[in-house]
Amino acid sequence: MNLGLDYVVIRSHALISNLLTIQQINDLADSKNVEEFLEQLSKTPYGRIEINDAGTVAITLEKVFYEKFVERVLKIIDLTPQKIGDFLKSYYYLRFETLNLKRIIRGKFSGQKPDEIFYTLIPINPYLIPNYEKLVNSVDIDEILEHLKDTTYSDVNKQKKLFNQYNAIWPIELALNHIYAKTIFRNVQNLPERDRRIIYKIVEYETDIENFLFAVKQSQEEKIDLNLEEVFPATYNLSIEKLREVIESENLKKVIESLDEHYSKVLSLIYSGDVALIRTGLRHYKCKIVSNALAVNEFGFNAIMAYLIYSEIEKDNLVGIGWGKAQGISSEDLMKYMVECKKYS
Amino acid sequence: MSGVRPTKGYLMEMKRRIGFIEKGCEFLKLKRDHLAKELSASIDILKGRRGLLLKNLKEAYDALTAAYISLGPIEVESQARSVQSALQLEILPLSVMGVRYPYVKIVSKPKITSELDITLSNASKKIYEILEELIQLAEFEARAERIADELGKTNRKVNALENTVIPSYNQIIKFIESKLDEESLEELVRMKRIGGERASRRE
């Protein structure tokens, strides 16, 4: 049902105003327990969520928030003109499908049963693979890689050597990240020039930050001779040399200070010893990118992206609060990981 | 004093029993003192270790919270499952003064592989660092709990013996002895009377 870009943009603005306000997020984080959290949530557009098994409350909530987010993405895709719709589908579906493939591979690697693997998957229809059943029911990882041969993900087979060499699945996971970034950049070409910039900024920044985090992790682990070109197939503003410095340097601060301000500002959060704050910083940055783009042009692709990014951040915030409340974590401890988008204030 | 036979044989049996009970009571007192010593040593160790461990445990839990909020619970569980070698423990019984407590032997530790995200990897490293200490503390807590339990039982037994059983036996012995004394006095009077009667008949 394509109603033209103008309609989707206006609709996106309306949907942005329906997202949870920062006050509502604060109220949810302030809930004393899960029951109060669910009660607060029932007063929002999420409505009442029934939890049947108290033992898996955080997982049930995460699934509900994912379903809601996927539903929002689908609604927008359904309304947007084909080129934008196709791109958005690839942007989100590819991301979720990549995550699902990682979970299937991990599950197979650790000998999980097919139904246990299915339970961990994000509820989306297959996008670039024919179906999930074949993959989930494969005997081993070799069979999964075999099934992926005729798909967009065929390049993961190139990592088979590293997978066998280290008996580890991280080379496959990195290859999937690379395929995701590469495919997004290919698909973004279908968008008008002015709309591409926002996507480039987001994907490049995301990839660079994840590369940095992987490099920090490598620096803390037993030194193995890694071919960094293979490990980091996609790098943007953080070059392979910089990542090598991160792995080999004894002084991480020096490396971070040598980076651009919008990188060093977020990456310097690592000094607190809490690496997760970098991901919070990354989400803040994504929020800032779309908010700034929206300030420049309120009536265009920016509005759609802003709605989807805000919506995704809302999902991440709610998943975090839901888990925190199930664990009885105080709102102060939770709020430092929450992202308050400017549109909220 | 129903059921008490005021006979010399019964008195001897009672004296034999009370001797045995008193010896048992002495042993129980020794056991109680030893258990009290063990318990106070365990508590001292627990106090020190707990303080240290709580700080490390808080740090590990904060790191785990960060990982869960950063990745989401499903992703954390999915990644955690990719750690193939799990923690394997063997629980063996040990005993101090007849009190059995578990001894935990670490058969194999989990190997933190590079499969984990950096947030989860940090959390798992922190937990890994305190794992051995955590298990030892659990072992000490179980030991202290069981010793305290046994100490309470032993104390109750000693009190019961000292305040109820031994006094009641002493009372019985006293009763039998007084009965026997009474009987022997009666016997003496009777004998004297008979002797007097015989003497008067002879006259």
pLDDT tens for chain A, 345 residues long, are 556 788 899 999 999 998 999 889 999 999 999 999 999 999 998 999 888 776 788 999 999 999 999 999 999 998 888 888 888 988 899 999 999 999 999 999 888 899 989 988 998 889 999 889 999 999 989 999 999 998 989 988 988 888 888 888 888 888 888 888 888 888 888 888 888 888 889 988 988 998 899 899 888 877 667 778 877 877 888 999 999 999 888 888 999 999 988 899 999 999 888 888 999 999 999 999 999 988 888 888 899 999 999 999 999 999 999 999 999 999 898 999 999 886 533
CA-based R_g, chain B, Å: 34
Residue with tokens 């040598």: A258
pLDDT for the residue numbered A343:
58
B114/A277 CB distance under 8 A? no
Beta-bridged to residue B88, according to DSSP, are B108
Nearby residues of A136 by Cβ (< 8 Å), 6 or more positions away? A104, A107, A114, A117, A118
In single-letter form, the type of residue at position B59 comes to: E
Contacts of B73 in chain A (CB under 8 A): 58-59, 62, 319, 323
pLDDT for the residue numbered B3:
78
Q: Is A217 exposed, middle or buried (0-12, 13-18, 19+ CB in 10 A)?
A: buried
Judge whether B130 and B43 are in contact, CB under 8 Å: no
Judge whether A301 and B34 are in contact, CB under 8 Å: no
Nearby residues of A299 by Cβ (< 8 Å), 6 or more positions away? A6, A9
CA-based R_g, chain A, Å: 21
> What is this model's ipTM?
0.89
A63/B121 CB distance under 8 A? no
Contacts of B78 in chain A (CB under 8 A): 102-103, 106-107, 120
pTM for this prediction: 0.79
Contacts of B70 in chain A (CB under 8 A): 275-276, 279-280, 337
Please provide residue B24's backbone torsions phi and psi, each rounded to the nearest 5 degrees. -60, -40
pLDDT for the residue numbered A241:
92
Contacts of A102 in chain B (CB under 8 A): 78
Judge whether B151 and B35 are in contact, CB under 8 Å: yes
Helix (H) or strand (E) holding B182: helix B166-202
Q: DSSP string of A292-312?
A: HHHHH-SSSHHHHHHHHHHHH
* CA distances from residue A236 to A8, A152, A233, A287 in whole angstroms, order as listed: 31, 22, 10, 20
B115/A169 CB distance under 8 A? yes
* Ordered domains of chain B (ranges, CATH): 8-82+118-202 (1.10.287.3240)
Average predicted confidence (pLDDT) for chain B: 89
* CA distances from residue B8 to B13, B19, B178 in whole angstroms, order as listed: 9, 16, 11
How many angstroms separate the CA atoms of A151 and A101, rounded?
12
Q: Which residues of B touch A (CB under 8 A)?
A: 62-63, 65-70, 72-75, 77-79, 81-84, 113-115, 117-119, 121-122
Beta-bridged to residue B91, according to DSSP, are B104
In single-letter form, the type of residue at position A301 comes to: F
Judge whether A327 and A61 are in contact, CB under 8 Å: no
Show the low-confidence residues of chain B (pLDDT under 70): 1-2, 113-114
pLDDT for the residue numbered A342:
64
